[in-house]
Structure 1
Amino acid sequence: MGPAIGKRVVASTNLKDNKELNMSTTDMWFSADLHFGHEHILEYTPRGHYFSNIDEHDQWIIRRLNEDVGPKGVIWFLGDLSFHNKWKTGALIEQIETPNKFLVLGNHDDKHIEFYKTSGLFREVHEHRAYIKFNGRNIIMDHHPIAHWRNCQHGYWMLHGHCHGDFDYATHGLDRYKIADVGWDASPAYELRDLSRIYADQQLRAAGFSVSARAEQYGPIPFSKLAPIMAEREVKPHHDTYR
Structure 2
Amino acid sequence: MSFTQKFYSADLHLGHAAILKSCASTRPFATAVEMDAAIVDNINARVRGGDILYILGDFTLSRNAEYVRHLFHTIRPRKILILGNHDVDNRGAVKKTISELPWDCPPVGALETKDGGRRLWLSHYAHRTWPAMHHGSYHFFGHSHGNLKGYGRSRDVGIDVADTLFAPRTFQELIATMPDDSEAEWHSHLVRQYGRRVPPVGEIRVPEQMRPLIEEMFARLSVLLPDERLSTVQDIDFQNGVRVDLMLSWVLPANVAAQAHALVDEIQSRAGDQV
Task: Give structure 1 regions of 4+ aligned residues with deviation exceeding 4 angstroms.
Answer: none
Q: Percent of pairs identical after alignment?
A: 26
Q: Work out which of the two has the higher radius of gyration on C-alpha atoms and give 1 or 2.
A: 2
Mapping of residues 1-243 of structure 1, within 5 Å: 3-5=1-3, 25=4, 27-47=5-25, 50-85=28-63, 86-98=65-77, 100-111=78-89, 112-120=94-102, 122-169=103-150, 174=151, 177-186=152-161, 188-190=162-164, 217-232=165-180, 234-235=183-184, 236-237=187-188, 238=191, 239=195, 240-241=198-199, 242-243=231-232
- Equivalent-residue separation in structure 2 for 1:185 and 1:48 (angstroms): 6
Q: Structure 1, residues 26-77: CA drift from partner, whole Å, max 9, x if none?
A: x210000000111111001135762111110010000000001122221100
CA RMSD of aligned residues (A): 2.1
* 8 Å Cα contact 1:80-1:106 kept in structure 2: yes
Structure 1 residues 81 and 48: alpha-carbon distance in aligned structure 2, compared to 1, 3 A threshold: same
Q: Deviation at 1:4?
A: 4.2
Offset of residue 153 of structure 1: 1.1
Does the C-alpha gap of structure 1 residues 125 and 47 become closer, same or farther in structure 2, counting only changes over 3 Å?
farther
8 A Cα contact 2:58 2:84, kept in partner: yes
Partner of 1:133, secondary structure, is: strand
Cα separation, 1, equivalents of 2:58 and 2:66: 16
Distance 1:49 1:119 in 2: 26
Count of equivalent residues:
186
Q: For residues 19 and 71 of structure 2, what CA distance do their matches in structure 1 show?
A: 17
The AA in structure 2 aligned to 1:182 is V
- Is the Cα–Cα contact under 8 Å of residues 123 and 140 in structure 2 kept in the other structure? yes
Aligned equivalents of 1:183 and 1:125: distance in 2? 21
| Cα pair 2:159 2:168 within 8 Å, conserved | yes
- The Cα offsets for residues 107-146 of structure 1, whole Å up to 9 and x where unpaired, read as 00014544433431x1013331101012211000000001
Normalised by the length of structure 1, the TM-score is 0.70
